[in-house]
Amino acid sequence: MTAPAPARATGLELLDPFEAARLAGLELFTEGIVEGFLAGLHRSPRRGFSIEFAEHRMYQPGDELRYIDWKLLGRKDRLYVKQYEEETNLRAMLVVDVSRSMAWSGDPARVLSKLDYLRRLAAALSLLLTRQRDATGLIAFDDEIRAVVPARARLRHWHHLLQTLEGLRAGRGTAAEPALRRVMDLLRRRGLVIFISDLLLERELALTALKFLRHRGHQVIVLHVMDPAELDLNGPTEARFEDPETGTGVTLRPKDWAGAYRETVSGVVQAWRRACRTSGIQYHQVTTDTPFGLALRRVVARPAGLA
């Protein structure tokens, strides 16, 4: 008997309905002024309105009556307003790391790999941004740029983002700088850049690119994704540890090196946190055993955005 063909992936399976519902009360505010349009969650220095129609959406209290589609009211007996391509509070880019190290999980039976966790975190963030009418795009990279999705504010565009995230696979090495510099081509006006990675990369090169984005007026957020097993060195009496991207390895006794390892990891995390915060970049460490809905609530807890 021939097995039925698997259902075509829509990307929606990235978001559990319960977890998606928990996002309903969240709002991602940006600090300072972003160059968006219309009154909304973010202050805008611009005035203006695009004439390119995008889609209808349900009327919300506070919407201007002149944008109500009265003809649609007659047909559907509900209030809808016309939304335009540039009717967005800000433009945001999610820059995600799909290098080989992201495929790792310390306990695959219980904990998602860093890449699978990243997919869900990015899906939830893009949903959050789309719900508040913010145009959202995506850049995925390993040692090259693997996917580029320009920022759009349409709901169907969010489905396209999910399908792209679902199709991402772990690649080779890591080179974040080209991807971060590509953001400059896609965000012509000041906006929001969310960089999601395990940060196993050339720190100074990545920081230089992140600082450049901040200097150009973008709000920059770094989400440092780590597996719980990366925080401590555990294992059998003797074990071989191998770099998934370079193949180099070392054989040692975990018990003998556990203290030095823990201190080194803590130092790396603190170095990233200090470097980001002294440059006006928001940093947040996220472990893959944290429910992504809870992780989002923690990182958007402050009105200024992610901390």
Residues in the chain: 307
The residue with greater pLDDT, 276 or 89, is 276
The residue with greater pLDDT, 245 or 130, is 130
How far is 301 from 296, CA to CA, in rounded Å? Answer: 8
User: What is the arithmetic mean of pLDDT over 244-249?
Assistant: 74
Q: What Cα–Cα distance (Å) separates residue 88 from each residue in 3, 35, 167, 204, 213?
A: 46, 9, 27, 33, 21
Please say if the pLDDT value at position 53 is more than 80.
no
How far is 48 from 60, CA to CA, in rounded Å? Answer: 20
Please say if the pLDDT value at position 275 is more than 90.
yes
> What's the mean per-residue pLDDT of the chain?
80
* C-alpha triplet 220, 222, 224: angle, nearest 5°: 180
pLDDT value, residue 62: 67
pTM tops 0.85: no
How far is 14 from 119, CA to CA, in rounded Å? Answer: 7
pLDDT value, residue 3: 46
At 271, list the tokens: 């170095």
Beta carbons of 164 and 118 less than 8 angstroms apart: no
Cβ contacts of residue 22 below 8 Å, gap of 6+?
293, 297
Backbone angles phi, psi at 73, to 5 degrees: -60, -40
Lowest-pLDDT range of 70-84, 92-106, 195-209, 224-238? 70-84
User: What is the arithmetic mean of pLDDT over 145-156?
Assistant: 90
Please say if the pLDDT value at position 9 is more than 50.
no
Chain-centroid distance of CA 113 in Å reads 16
Cβ contacts of residue 264 below 8 Å, gap of 6+?
none
Domains and CATH numbers, the chain: 53-84 (no CATH), 91-299 (3.40.50.410)
